[in-house]
Chain A
Amino acid sequence: MIEVRWHGRGGQGSFTIARLLGMAASVHGNAYAQAFPSFGPERRGAPVLGFTRIDENKITDRSEVDACDYVVVLDETLWGDNVLNGLKPNGIVLINTETPEKYKIDNVNIIALDATSLALEYLGRPITNTAMMGALVAAGDFIQLESCNNAIRESMKENIANKNIALMAKAYEMIKEGK
């Protein structure tokens, strides 16, 4: 089972992207998936978590995600010990930052992407969730980019979907080239 934890702030789309990844893997892929937010009141600007579980078998586990293969940070002001909590030994952290040198830790695989600049270029707004999904797809090799494109097409209006698909493709390409 692949377990992904998304860190963001209310309004940045961290749960939306957790859900889109699950939709991509299940409805538009051949896997089963589960997606859920950190449960509780919803408040704009407050730290929130999103979770995605993906597996080839039906997922019946309803306990909280305590060990992650991937941690994705949409907003670097949330950086702290809780980002690395529960990261599996070979796990990967993906962070949205323009200063990757700040995030070098021994024995932790951290991949940086300046998703905010990319999002401003492609969407005209600093909404970074789809860019970070593109980075995750490139880093992860557990899901096809086309499945994610289909999930976006299913969930957004056509013109917005197209912009996000282009943004995701660019982020994907940058991480693949950087590898």
Chain B
Amino acid sequence: MRKFISGNDAVAEGVRLARPHVISAYPITPQTIAVERLSEMVEDGSLKAEYMHVESEHSAMAAAMGVSSVGARAFTATSSQGLLYMAECLPYASGARMPIVMMNANRAIATPWNIYGDQMDSMFLLNSGWIQVYVEDAQEALDMMIQAYKIAEHPQVLAPMMVNLDGFVLTHTYELVEIPEQDKVDAFLPPIQMSKQVMALDDPKSLCISAGNDFNMEFKIKQERDLQNSVSVIESVDHEFHEAFGRKYHGMMECYKTEDADVVLITTGSITGTTRIVVDQMRAEGKKVGLLKLRYLRPFPAEQLRIALRDVKHVGVLDKNISFGYEGTIFTNVNSALSSLDTVPKTTNYIGGLGGRDITKGNIEEAFEQMMSSDHHDKIQYMNVRCEQ
């Protein structure tokens, strides 16, 4: 069935199809409509789940951990300050290997207080042990809710997963979305099956244990190894999803017209769609530009990036965040990946979209033109700003 719905609606539809047992959430702009829809679905019986209206985001994640502890499927959603308030619980969940799925509506963080979209919030949690994916449109948001549980619950992964969509630009924009059929989703995503670390009344366990200096590193190394190895699961789940539903997202990242490109811009999230148009226009003018849509930031596809970009002359990284005192966070990660190439491409960091500032097609075209020109420019470039830099 095709519906004309918003990104928030699409998230709720995807979650409904994934059949979670419990949703624990606290509303926050611009995520609110997603959890309102889920609450309505529970109320009207179209989603057979328990909806817990908790008193804070910290409690939302604590409740999700309780759900996961008994082997049930948990969902929560948040944004911005709510994500930061929840932050203490995130490494608890990942260290305890709980396959919780969360939607994060990417939004600016205070101060100045701002409800619009950028990607500062989720960047804080790159080190939390959660898988992080960024989607481009409402369809991908829906589809990733279904994929996320399959990835997170895979016995070789057992890691929580955060599905990020840009606040307002995706959460509040309506578009045509294909809603998969429930029986197809059920076949793709069977009920959760966690046997080893699950607690039950007749099988009590101590979870979220402590491990001192004699064991802690071994726990962390195994966690790191499994997150690194989740790449193959992410890719195979996307492949299976394509076979079942006819839509594919190319696993860790999508290369768009990069094969013979001299200049490539790396994007995450909704700005990817705008960049596609600019690439098409500039290609029509004979300019060798390309786009690399970076979908996952954790695990980070370093090897795939090296293969895709080894013959490119200049790589731009579009960051909707600043790691204050240095540069955009994705830029740091990309440079680190490329540094082991024999010939390292030039790189430029384009920082834009903070606090919801528009990034126009003209801004993106200027970035491509700048990377194609041989004139010197500063490594950090701010897009569409009025102040001195």
Contact = CB atoms under 8 A, between A and B. Distances in A.
Interface of A: 19, 22-23, 26-27, 32-37, 39-41, 59-64, 66
B169 interface: yes
Given A22-B4, A23-B4, A61-B274, A36 B172 contact: yes
Contacts of B170: 62
30 contacts: A23-B4, A26-B4, A26-B175, A26-B176, A27-B3, A27-B4, A32-B175, A33-B4, A33-B175, A35-B4, A35-B174, A35-B175, A36-B169, A36-B172, A39-B116, A39-B169, A40-B116, A40-B168, A41-B29, A41-B115, A60-B273, A60-B274, A61-B273, A61-B274, A61-B277, A61-B361, A62-B166, A62-B173, A64-B358, A66-B360
Contacts of B137: 60
A59 B116 contact: no
Contacts of A23: 4, 174
Nearest to A27: B4
Nearest to B1: A27
A41 to B, nearest CB: 7
Contacts of A37: 172
Nearest to B362: A63
B250 interface: no
B4 A62 contact: no
Interface residues of B, number: 29
Contacts of B273: 60-62
A60 B360 contact: no
B2 A27 contact: yes
B356 interface: yes
B175 A62 contact: no
Most buried by B among A22, A35, A39: A39
A36 B359 CA distance: 16
A26 B174 CA distance: 11
B28 interface: no
Contacts of B270: 62
Contact of A62 (B3, B116, B169): B169
A32 B173 contact: no
A40 B115 contact: yes
A99 B170 CA distance: 39
A62 B117 CA distance: 12
A23 B9 CA distance: 14
